[in-house]
Amino acid sequence: MHWGGSFAELGQFDKAVGAFLQAIQLRPEDADTHFNLARAYGELGRHDDEILEYKKTLGIAPNDFRPLINLAIAYSQAGRHEASIETWRRIIESKPGDVAALSSLELEYERIGRYEEALNAALEVVRIEPTCALSLGNVAVFFNRLGKFGDALRNARDAIRLDPRYADAHFNAGCALQGLKDHTAAILAYQKAIQLQPDFLKALVNLGFAYLELDRAPEAITPLKQALELRPECVEAHDFLGVAYLKTGDRTAAMGQASIVKNLDAKFESTLSRQLASEDLNGK
């Protein structure tokens, strides 16, 4: 086992796996060796083997939480989110009020679009940590996802009061305000988020969209271009930029953006393509 640990410390995980397997042949019931073998498999991206070894570790040492926590993470990395959820729930049943486990559970629910359950987990974290800005911000995220924009705005503002420099909270407030059709206030919230975090891609894209919603197309162009400087393959930014060009009378530039959108994602539901088609029908 010592050889396996040495190889792992050197980042030579293939050799570590071989050494741990040899050690297991000599001591098949050694939980630590199975645990370290699982970790080595994880480093190699061999998540099915990793999961199997964590299960073997738990069979030998059922009260050890280390392999149980790592098993939940391994399930997630393998894309087996339902299994990860069940494992996190098992951990929480044994350790009620474990904020780290609850936070991981809410993320797993989010990954598979179960936002109501993600919200419930996030609310439980807030119950335990009522003055944590991050926890309140997460609650705002899920309220926004569920279309409960008033609740989202309240929690985002509570997070901002606790931490005025929390960029995500300003962004979440902006999303809620846009959901409430208060685009002017949303613009201010997005601008604050960007001031705090200049490379905040989603805030830049949403800022551009909010300007478009208020028919302020020329102002939308700058943040959308900034978004594309950060991520040239951002389909939404190209689409909204094309709409902005179209509204400012530059149809050629708009069609160029439409072509980029199609090349990036042919299945993308393009607002720009609909508006170009509408203009064609109306003979513009």
Cα four-point dihedral sign 199, 268, 208, 203: negative
- The answer to whether position 192 is within a domain reads no
Looking up tokens 């060009």, which residue turns up?
245
Residue 225 structural domain: 213-284
Pick the last residue of a domain from 17, 33, 62: 62
Regions in the chain scoring below 70 on pLDDT: 1-5, 7, 280-284
Instruction: Find the CATH number of the domain harbouring 84.
Output: 1.25.40.10
Query: Which two tokens mark 102?
Result: 């609850």
Domain boundary among 62, 81, 112: 62
pLDDT at 242: 97
Is residue 176 included in any domain, yes or no? Answer: no
54 & 119 share domain: no
| 267, part of any domain | yes
Q: For residue 186, give every residue at least 6 positions away whose Cβ sits within 8 Å of its Cβ, in sequence order, or none.
A: 174, 175, 177, 178, 206, 210
Locate 180 and state its tokens. 């409430």
Q: What are the percentages of helix, strand and coil residues in the chain, rounded to 5?
A: 80, 0, 20
Same domain membership, residue 87 and residue 34? no
- Pick from 153, 158, 134: nearest CA to 143: 153
**Inside any domain, residue 273:** yes
Helix (H) or strand (E) holding 135: helix 133-145
Indicate whether 84 and 38 sit together in one domain: no
Same domain, yes or no: 218 and 256:
yes
User: 37 and 76: one domain?
Assistant: no
Tell me whether residue 162 is in a domain: no
Amino acid occupying residue 149: F
Domain assignment present for residue 185? The answer is: no
- pTM over 0.85? The answer is yes
Does some domain include residue 169?
no
Q: Does 219 share its domain with 257?
A: yes
DSSP structure string for 20-72? HHHHHHH-TT-HHHHHHHHHHHHHTT-HHHHHHHHHHHHHH-TT-HHHHHHHH
> CA–CA separation, 125 vs 155, rounded Å?
13
Q: Answer whether residue 77 is part of any domain.
A: yes
Residue owning tokens 């201010």: 188
Asked whether residue 224 falls in the same domain as residue 281, the answer is yes
Give the HSE-up count for residue 211: Cα atoms under 13 Å, Cβ half-sphere: 24
Query: What's the token pair of residue 7?
Result: 């190889």
pLDDT of residue 7: 60
How many domains is the chain built from? 3
Q: Identify the CA nearest to 21 among candidates 12, 229, 30, 117.
A: 30
- Claim to verify: residue 46 and residue 101 sit in the same structural domain: no
Write down which residue in 37, 62, 87 finishes a domain: 62
